[in-house]
Amino acid sequence: MGTRESVTRALEAIENSGRHYRDSLPMIASENIISPLVRKACNSDLHGRYAEGLPFKRYYQGCDDFDTIEDLGIISAKKVFNCTFANIQSTSGTNSNIGTLKALTKPGDTITAVSTADGGHISHARMGGVGVRGLNLITYPWDEDRMEPDIDASAKLIRESEPSLALFGQSVFLFPTPMKELADVAHEVDAKVMYDSAHVLGLIAGGQFQDPLGEGADVMTGSSHKTFPGPQGGFVLSKSEDEKFHRKLNSGIFPGVCSSYHLHHVAGKVISLLEFEEFGEKYASDIIANSKALASALASEGFDVLAEDRGYTESHQVVTRHGEKDSGAGRKAAKILEDSGIITNMNMLPGDTKALSPSGLRLGTPELTRLGMGTDEMQDIAKFFSRALISKESPKNIRNDIMSFKSNFQTVNYCFEPGPAYPGLD
């Protein structure tokens, strides 16, 4: 295959991916779509520019306009997240985590976090950011019924291990973390408290989940592209008034883990922050309402939805079990659903030990909500799940019905100028 043919093939695959998502139900909890104005910012000339440093304190010339952009974003972030410090430069949630770990720990320090087997994020593990920083990891005892750290046992662990940093937050995130109780214990042993809000940042900003910074976290990291509906990127946030602490956090990102920090995405974050000021509370509320409705509808269809005793979920996520532990049932279910027009991800659940053969699925409602779907549509989606996984209808027939269903939801909402969700497709 020649170079030109390869270019053509790559462009075709890009368009095909857009069509695939346009005609399907995207339900991966870590994904979202951007508004027309955010897309415009991300497609701007800023794409190839550099602005090392902080606003009005740069290492390059030509940054005056970007200084204005980033400064507006910092002001908006402090308002949206109700904090005194905001760094909006990070290129991802993981990048935010590694930069913050660099700022607050040194190699060999002990930290506590949620195990990946219990839903913790890979950046909290030895295979990820914690390992990159060379930290000694101890994981919290887990309450499977409540899908959260066991409060008493985790408090005992923190007191006994005396970590330098207590890290909270996870990738499977159904309920608020018991922050107040555990942050108080961490501070007793002089540990810093870090809350990774990557998945739930938009829910927090919308006032619909919990207030980690108000409940004892010294710093909160997060992604700008999950429940917070911006472009790929991250945040580092704090309520601390300590300027030395601010300098540590800033230097953890630049020069710690970033040189150029993708100015076009920072500009997109700024627009999404300003849009969130206007529409964020309603968006966050609708996401959670849809998750609750979806969970209840799936349970009514006969699915094993986790955390029934707690009402299934208080976030953007719903978690379902499809077979015995380590059976690979989640992997099989995800493939059947994609063939049927529903895009999900297999996920380890408590008790699973094999990441590629888990028993569960993690489902998310942010993108469906952004497209204008409500609680009535969640009932319809649960029926599609049932047709695919319980009745075992032909995936082709279900896919055709989903394409027709989805055709009514092709516009980005909760933004200044509603527009096409998948632009450029015929």
Residues 359 and 398 in one domain: yes
Contact 58, 52 (CB under 8 A): yes
Q: Could you say which of 241, 273, 305 is where a domain stops?
A: 273
| pTM metric for this prediction | 0.96
What is the SS3 assignment for 311? coil
- Give the Cα separation of 223 and 90 in Å (integer): 9
The SS3 of residue 379 is helix
Please check whether residue 426 lies inside any domain of the structure.
no
**Is 318 in the same domain as 250?**
no
Q: What is the pLDDT along the chain (426 residues), one digit of tens a residue?
A: 789 999 999 999 999 999 999 999 999 999 999 999 999 999 999 999 999 999 999 999 999 999 999 999 999 999 999 999 999 999 999 999 999 999 999 999 999 999 998 889 989 988 889 999 999 999 999 998 899 999 999 999 999 999 999 999 999 999 999 999 999 999 999 999 999 999 999 999 999 999 999 999 999 999 999 999 999 999 999 999 999 999 999 999 999 999 888 999 999 999 999 999 999 999 999 999 999 999 999 999 999 999 999 999 999 999 999 999 999 999 999 999 999 999 999 999 988 889 899 999 999 999 999 999 999 999 999 999 999 999 999 999 999 999 999 999 999 999 998 999 999 776
Last residue of a domain, one of 273, 302, 329: 273
Q: 334 and 386 share a domain?
A: yes
**DSSP per residue over 400-424, as a string?**
HHHHHHHTT--EE-SSSS-EESSTT
**Is position 13 within any domain?**
no
Instruction: Answer whether residue 48 is part of any domain.
Output: yes
Same domain, 259 and 312: no
Residue 387 DSSP SS3: helix
pLDDT of residue 350: 86
Q: What is the number of structural domains in the chain?
A: 2
Q: Which of 282, 284, 271 is nearest to 230 (CA)?
A: 271
- 254 and 371, same domain (yes or no): no
Instruction: Give whole-number Cα distances, 176 to 173, 179, 267, 281, 337, in Å.
Output: 8, 8, 30, 17, 29
Query: Which domain-ending residue is among 232, 254, 273?
Result: 273
Clarify whether residues 334 and 219 are in a common domain.
Answer: no
The domain that holds 253 is classified in CATH as 3.40.640.10
Specify if 144 maps to a domain: yes
Shared domain for 83 and 101, answered yes or no, is: yes
Residue at 390 is within a domain: yes
Are 288 and 222 members of one domain?
A: no
Same domain, 51 and 143: yes
| pLDDT attached to residue 424 | 79
296 falls within a domain: yes
CATH of the domain at 295: 3.90.1150.10
Tokens 């985590």 correspond to what residue?
A: 97
Residues 239 and 316 in one domain: no
DSSP string computed for 156-224: HHHHHH--SEEEE--SS--S---HHHHHHHHHHTT-EEEEE-TTTHHHHHTTSS--GGGGT-SEEEEES
On whether both 266 and 293 belong to a single domain, the answer is: no
**Residue-number span of the structural domain to which 301 is assigned:** 26-33+279-420
Residue 282 near residue 369, CB atoms below 8 Å: no
In a domain, 116, yes or no: yes
Residue 241 and residue 112 share a domain: yes
Residue 30's H or E segment, with its range, is: none
Q: Is residue 7 part of a domain?
A: no
